[in-house]
Amino acid sequence: MNERVPHHWKGFAMAITDQSNPSNEQLLFLFERMKLIRLMEERLRSDAAAGKLPGAVHLYIGQEAVAAGVCANLRETDWITSTHRGHGHFLAKGGDPKAMMAEIWGKRTGICKGMGGSMHVADLSKGILGANGIVGGGFAIATGAALTAKLSNNGRVAVAFFGDGAANQGVFMECLNVSTLWQLPLVFVCEYNHFCEFTPTVTVTAGEIADRAKAFKIPCEIVDGNDVLAVWRAAAKAIEWARSGKGPAFIEARTYRIQGHLEAEDLFLAGGKYREKQEIEEWRKRDPVTRFSEHLLSTKVCTTSQLDDISAKIARTVEDAVKFAEASEPADPELTFDVMFAGQKP
């Protein structure tokens, strides 16, 4: 297996003494959010395979615990920036499933009027500053949001979700630097899913990513990213640290990308391969949604039939979102002028 042994430098130790746990209500909320992401993504996977979606989709299956565990600690007014693999972040931060689905289908009822597609789902009213087709594109946006929060003293926090590949972009260093220098309320969340497109991260990454934050004296924690409670606890501490004016914090969540880099990646690979099936199967055993449902049952937070009810409700939400997207009008090409040129036709 392509897993490195993480080191644990728990710089938050001084920040929060109490390892608090989520209430039962919060636990069920976490399950709902993870299940919503999973079922939306599974539906996208089958619709992509059926050729129903107009653009590329990068699925988040297997990483749900990261978005859910972090965003459950955020307020609606807090900000997040996301990546090309952004559906999970959008839904975890409270984005509307219908508007997201319609966007991915390229329909004018989509959250960006169908003009952005999968890689640009955004909802400023929910603090979702956007998925982003530029690898590492979210760092500086989140840093800017955190600077706004600091200057306006509004108590908000910004979270930058990014991949292990994005950690090799130069802008990462720039944002670690200024966010520390200016003590910005910013939380970096690295989703270490082991791959950058078709390249194993270990083959292109020197040292530990978390050490880069450590060099700036940013408190950091490496967590099991397939354990939503571990993520939730680390995020609670990191967000509290940032919100209380102590500056940035850093979380590296160890997880795994179960799907291909994008759907239909086999066409790109043309018979080549960059990982073994066996490795994927090993990680499936650590499925974050299954693990968490087993935890909820073994700790008697709820019963199997309660979990089934939640899942059935979410399946209906997904079905409604697909029906809404299917029935909507395609995006209006004329809008290109408004969205690209702010009403000034060239």
Residues whose CB is less than 8 angstroms from the CB of residue 341 and which lie 6 or more positions away in sequence, other chains included: none
Q: Smallest distance, Å, CB 345 to ligand TPP?
A: 29
Residues 241, 245, 250, 255: what is their CA dihedral angle, to the nearest 10 degrees? 50
Q: Which is nearer to ligand TPP, 224 or 240 (CB)?
A: 224
Q: Among residues 1, 134, 202, 327, which is the contact residue for ligand TPP, using CB under 6 A?
A: 134
What is the C-alpha separation between 78 and 127, in angstroms, rounded? 6
Q: Which is nearer to ligand TPP, 225 or 247 (CB)?
A: 225
Q: Smallest distance, Å, CB 84 to ligand TPP?
A: 5
Q: What is the DSSP pairing of strand 195-196 with strand 199-200?
A: antiparallel
Q: Which is nearer to ligand TPP, 166 or 325 (CB)?
A: 166
Residues 29-58 within binding reach of ligand TPP (CB under 6 A): none
Span near ligand TPP by CB under 6 A; candidates 157-165, 232-240, 277-285, 338-346: 157-165
24-49 and 97-104 helices, crossing angle to 10°: 20
By beta carbon distance, the residue nearest ligand TPP is 163
Q: Smallest distance, Å, CB 76 to ligand TPP?
A: 25
Strand order in the sheet with 220-224: 79-81, 158-163, 186-192, 249-254, 220-224
Does residue 165 interact with ligand TPP by CB under 6 A? yes
What does residue 283 show for φ and ψ, rounded to 5 degrees? -75, -30
The residue assigned the tokens 């289908």 is 105
- Contact string 174-193 vs ligand TPP (x = CB under 6 A): -------------------x
Span near ligand TPP by CB under 6 A; candidates 128-136, 208-216, 267-275, 290-298: 128-136
Q: Which is nearer to ligand TPP, 57 or 184 (CB)?
A: 57
Neighbours of 281 (CB within 10 A): 10
What are 73's two structure tokens? 């600690």
- Contact string 52-91 vs ligand TPP (x = CB under 6 A): -------------------------------xxx------
The full DSSP string for 273-302 is: -SS-HHHHHHHHTT-HHHHHHHHHHHTTSS
Q: Smallest distance, Å, CB 140 to ligand TPP?
A: 12
Q: Among residues 96, 164, 240, 287, which is the contact residue for ligand TPP, using CB under 6 A?
A: 164
The full DSSP string for 193-229 is: -SEETTEEGGGT--S-HHHHHHTTT--EEEEETT-HH
Span near ligand TPP by CB under 6 A; candidates 105-113, 195-203, 280-288, 308-316: 195-203
- Contact string 252-291 vs ligand TPP (x = CB under 6 A): -----x---x------------------------------
Q: Among residues 40, 159, 166, 321, which is the contact residue for ligand TPP, using CB under 6 A?
A: 166
What is the C-alpha separation between 122 and 96, in angstroms, rounded? 10
Q: Which is nearer to ligand TPP, 164 or 240 (CB)?
A: 164
Does residue 135 interact with ligand TPP by CB under 6 A? yes
What are 286's two structure tokens? 């650590």
Does residue 202 interact with ligand TPP by CB under 6 A? no
Nearest CA-CA partner of 85 in 215, 265, 232, 269: 265
Neighbours of 311 (CB within 10 A): 18
Enumerate binding residues for ligand TPP (CB under 6 A). 83-85, 133-135, 163-166, 193, 195-197, 257, 261
